[in-house]
């Protein structure tokens, strides 16, 4: 087998870059057409409600359980760290700020990508492999409007709400450990938390993060399913790519958004 020359490697790198740009262009056109095309969801409210249940309600259990345990862990770790400085009464402040600013939006988005994102990619990929999407086109129904748009909007709506629920149960889990187990005074826990949390810089910025993550994760999931090879192997690869790409996108965007929101620029 002939050893690849430097020019061959450069050509492969260039081809890979062009493939990435082509996929980005296709996915952008796909997103714009699905969200802002001519019929929208005027006649698809029932489809939207069904998808809200599928991607939102069915993700509720894993979000609630994860939120409680993460809040508990934050309280334990925070108490151990703060007690060395005699500031264990500030554990409520630490739990709330950590959840609202960072862990709430990020962990919920990662859980959503693993549970709902992979399911969306597999479902749409299966529709493509069984020619359900082609059948819709043959009878004059745009699959982007009937199949893709309800799922995009459902993910866009569900993830911010799931993030708020994650934050609430996480703070409750932290309070349960700090007050009932570690002996932190309940009044100090809630008072320090309320005095330190700012609606704009903490709550609202966390909501903005969750909205951005919702759009990106759902976009990646539905596009990977729609663009996959119509075979069982292609669906499997699309599902894996959805979780990997969405997780990396969430972590990368979290750094960018955090730098913009809290960095000194």
Q: What's the Cα-to-Cα distance from 214 to each of 8, 152, 159, rounded to whole Å?
A: 39, 9, 5
Mean pLDDT of the chain: 87
DSSP state, residue 217:
H
Q: How far apart are CA 36 and CA 210, in angstroms?
A: 21
Segment 233-243 shows an average pLDDT of: 92
8 Å CB contact between 3 and 108: no
**Mean pLDDT computed over 15-30:** 72
Give Cα separations from 218 to 51, 125, 140 (angstroms). Answer: 12, 14, 25
pTM of the predicted structure, to 2 decimals: 0.88
The whole-angstrom separation of Cα 219 and Cα 60 is 20
Whole-angstrom Cα distance, residue 246 to residue 223?
A: 11
Closest of 220, 208, 216, 175 to residue 193, by C-alpha: 175
SS (H, E, C) 119-180: HHHHHHHHHHHCCHHHHHHHCCCCHHHHHHHHHHHHHHHHHHHHHHHHHHHHHHHHHHHHHH
Least Cα distance to 204 among 122, 104, 135 occurs for 104
Write out pLDDT tens, residues 86-103: 788 888 899 999 999 999
Name the least confident of 58-62, 79-83, 158-162, 253-257: 79-83
């Amino acid at each position: 087998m002939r050893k690849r020359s430097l020019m061959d490697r450069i050509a492969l790198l260039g081809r890979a870059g062009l493939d990435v740009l082509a996929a980005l262009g296709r996915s952008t056109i796909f997103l714009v057409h699905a969200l802002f095309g001519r019929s929208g969801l005027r006649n698809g409210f029932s489809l939207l409600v069904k998808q809200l249940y599928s991607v939102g309600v069915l993700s509720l259990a894993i979000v609630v359980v994860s939120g409680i345990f993460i809040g508990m862990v934050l309280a334990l770790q925070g108490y151990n760290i703060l007690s060395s400085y005699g500031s264990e009464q500030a554990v409520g402040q630490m739990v709330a700020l950590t959840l609202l600013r960072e862990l709430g939006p990020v962990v919920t988005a990662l859980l959503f990508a693993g549970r709902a994102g992979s399911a969306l990619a597999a479902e749409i990929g299966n529709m493509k492999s069984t020619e359900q999407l082609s059948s819709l086109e043959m009878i004059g129904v745009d699959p982007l409007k009937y199949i893709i748009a309800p799922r995009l909007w459902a993910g866009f709506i569900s993830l911010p709400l799931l993030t708020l629920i994650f934050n609430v149960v996480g703070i409750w889990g932290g309070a349960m450990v700090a007050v009932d187990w570690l002996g932190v005074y309940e009044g100090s826990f809630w008072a320090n938390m309320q005095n330190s949390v700012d609606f704009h810089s903490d709550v609202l910025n966390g909501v903005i993060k969750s909205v951005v993550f919702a759009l990106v994760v759902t976009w990646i999931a539905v596009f990977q399913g729609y663009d996959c090879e119509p075979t069982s192997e292609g669906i499997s690869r699309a599902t894996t790519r959805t979780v990997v790409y969405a997780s990396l996108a969430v972590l990368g965007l979290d750094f960018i958004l955090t730098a913009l929101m809290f960095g000194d620029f």
